[in-house]
Amino acid sequence: MVETLTGTNRSAGLSVQELIKYDTHEVPEYLSRESAMPPGPTRVPAEFYFSREHHEKEMEQLWKHVWQMACHEDDIPNVGDYMPYEIGELSFLIVHTAEDEFKAFRNACLHRGRRLKERAGKKTHELRCPFHAWAWHLDGSIKEIPCQWDFPYVVKEEQNLPEVPVGRWGRFIFINPDPDCEPFEEFLDDFPDNFALLPYEKRHKVAEVRKVIRANWKVAQDAFAESWHVFSTHPQVVWGFGDCNAQFDAFKNYSRQHNPAGAPSPHLEGIEWTPLPPSADGVPRERHAFTGAIYERRPDGNVDVTMPDGRSGVFTRQAVWVEGDLGHADLHLCQWVGGEQVADELKMAVPEDLDPNSTGGRLDNTGAAPGENGSTPDGSELYAQIEDDEPAAPAEPQTREDRIKATAAVRAKAANDMREAMRPLLGDLMDKVSDTELTGNIYYNLFPNLMPSSGWGPVAIWFRFRPNGNNPEECVMEAICIAPTPEGTEPPPAPPVHELDVDDSWTLAPEIGGLAMVMDQDTGNMPWVQKGVHSLEGGSLQLADYNEMKLRHFYAVLETYLEREW
């Protein structure tokens, strides 16, 4: 059913480097090199996810000394705009102080400590405390102390707001609370080189969706830092998504994951089932890739599950048995079919120059790109159109090289579709972009808590994870949507953050399109991981050498911060 032993320390599936050889365009050097961490056991103490003592250690040793993304320039586009940034119980105020100048201050009045600003604001000419009206100029210099005569011991010129270092990359604004921190450029190292062809300086923020998750920030981040879980948590995408055969690379303060989208999961080896076409009446349904069971939504919101041998059952969207001779169903497919749906799963926040219903060659929620969910470049079908719900006849055996070439051809077709879809916005630049960049799922972890994507679609979605105040068992997760800025235009101001309630589905945020349903599957696991780590035998988690390399890299870098003498 699934790939287990391969005789090596890698998946037997088609690799990124094998597919790169058949790219129709030049592949940038940074994607052609591999930088794997040495193998070795990595165990993470379970208390890292719930211990108050460990949370406080992270606050002291990590968050007070690390570069961290605070906001985007589009959040505060005008001089006088400002936005608070909070991490734990610390608060900083990011201010657009002058043309092309941003500063960050500790968000506390020097009189009696009241926060200067509780929320973002626009076009102010000063920073005035609401309590006793002490005031500062935008650059942080002291402006006015009411009843200054009553502070004979205070030297006014010494009452400027304390600044913290600011760094800028990709129109994102980073801060570091440590005035003696390493230079921002040294922290980034060669990370910006990964985006040289379409730098994030040429893009703008179009949406941000925020939600509290009932799990430690590392539990949430870890879930998005590997793709090994895809065959189990997202079984609907395995038909066209390389999961355990992804490539992982680790560098100084960042790591990279590259999934060869368009290549089926190696777990499908020997599986004869094929994906179902959409139902004629639009009722959500899916075939489970590994069992062949068909999941179909009922009018009452429950899910009919029918096995190939005819056994069937009815289950709730939480996979709780209702009736029938089948007693077990897959939780995640029940959620996918029976849960909240995206009305138009391709519609998301995109530039006005593009059709919002065009995927631009990117993967849809089945894991296959347009022209890729079955069609080869000559128009023949890779997957039989199953009308009678019977397994298709096994394909003729292929050599590995044949499989590589066939998969590369499918990816080339999807990449060309995307080049043409994006050409109205990016013009001839699209001719310089490789098939690998256009079809790969390429995600980064920039330590400690930012997850950028390569972003060649209409919208790139980034993730950020932070502790929720001083609670080690909750976090704030954000999905940030970034789009290319048309040449010769000014980026528009970013819209307000879309705040979801802790129990809301991500599908209530149309800004993130069909990905919302996938994120519901991901975040549905997180509270149960948070509960489970309290009961973990042996008191530690154990990480895979390769598929969880991004996690291993994160915890290795985290250890250097936790053990450092500042």
Residue 360: pLDDT above 70?
Answer: no
Say what the pLDDT of residue 262 is: 85
Q: Convert the pLDDT of each residue in 51-80 to its tens digit.
A: 999 999 999 999 999 999 999 999 999 999
User: Which residues in the chain are classed under CATH 2.102.10.10?
Assistant: 68-180
Residue 508: pLDDT above 50?
Answer: yes
CB–CB of 43/13 below 8 Å?
no
Q: What is the CATH number of domain 68-180?
A: 2.102.10.10
Cα–Cα nearest to 103, from 152, 136, 149:
136
Residue 196: pLDDT above 70?
Answer: yes
- What DSSP string describes 42-57? EEEEGGGGT-HHHHHH
Cα–Cα nearest to 14, from 368, 383, 263:
263
Cα 314 from chain centroid (whole Å): 33
CB–CB of 52/88 below 8 Å?
no
Distance CA 460, CA 444 (A): 12
Residue 188: pLDDT above 80?
Answer: yes
The mean per-residue pLDDT over the stretch 174-190 comes to 98
Residue 2 φ then ψ, to 5°: -130, 160
The mean per-residue pLDDT over the stretch 16-44 comes to 94
Q: Which residues pair with residue 168 across a beta bridge?
A: 173
Distance CA 438, CA 436 (A): 6
The mean per-residue pLDDT over the stretch 82-96 comes to 98
CB–CB of 162/105 below 8 Å?
yes
Residue 374: pLDDT above 80?
Answer: no
The mean per-residue pLDDT over the stretch 227-240 comes to 94
Say what the pLDDT of residue 363 is: 36
Distance CA 463, CA 479 (A): 5
Amino acid type, 99: E
Q: Convert the pLDDT of each residue in 314-334 to its tens digit.
A: 999 999 999 999 999 999 999
Say what the pLDDT of residue 383 is: 25
Residue 203: pLDDT above 70?
Answer: yes
CB–CB of 318/334 below 8 Å?
yes
Q: How many CA atoms lie within 13 A of 116 on its CB side?
A: 30
Ramachandran area for residue 270 (φ above 0: left; ψ -120 to 50: alpha; else beta): left
Q: Convert the pLDDT of each residue in 456-505 to its tens digit.
A: 989 999 999 999 999 999 999 999 999 999 989 999 999 999 999 999 99
| H-state helical runs in 367-514 | 400-426, 435-439
* E-strand stretches of 99-231: 101-106, 127-128, 135-136, 142-144, 163-164, 166-169, 172-175, 203-213
- Residue 502 has a CB neighbour count (10 Å cut-off) of 11
Say what the pLDDT of residue 4 is: 84
Say what the pLDDT of residue 309 is: 95
Distance CA 557, CA 559 (A): 5
Cα–Cα nearest to 82, from 92, 72, 96, 100:
96
Query: What is the length of the chain?
Result: 566
Distance CA 552, CA 540 (A): 14
Say what the pLDDT of residue 356 is: 39
Which range among 198-202, 220-224, 254-258, 383-387 shows the weakest confidence by mean pLDDT?
383-387
Distance CA 562, CA 292 (A): 48
Residue 448 φ then ψ, to 5°: -95, -20
Say what the pLDDT of residue 397 is: 54
Q: What share of the chain is helix, strand, coil (3-state, %, to 5)?
A: 30, 25, 50
Cα→Cα distances 339→173, 303, 527, Å: 37, 10, 18
Residue 367: pLDDT above 50?
Answer: no
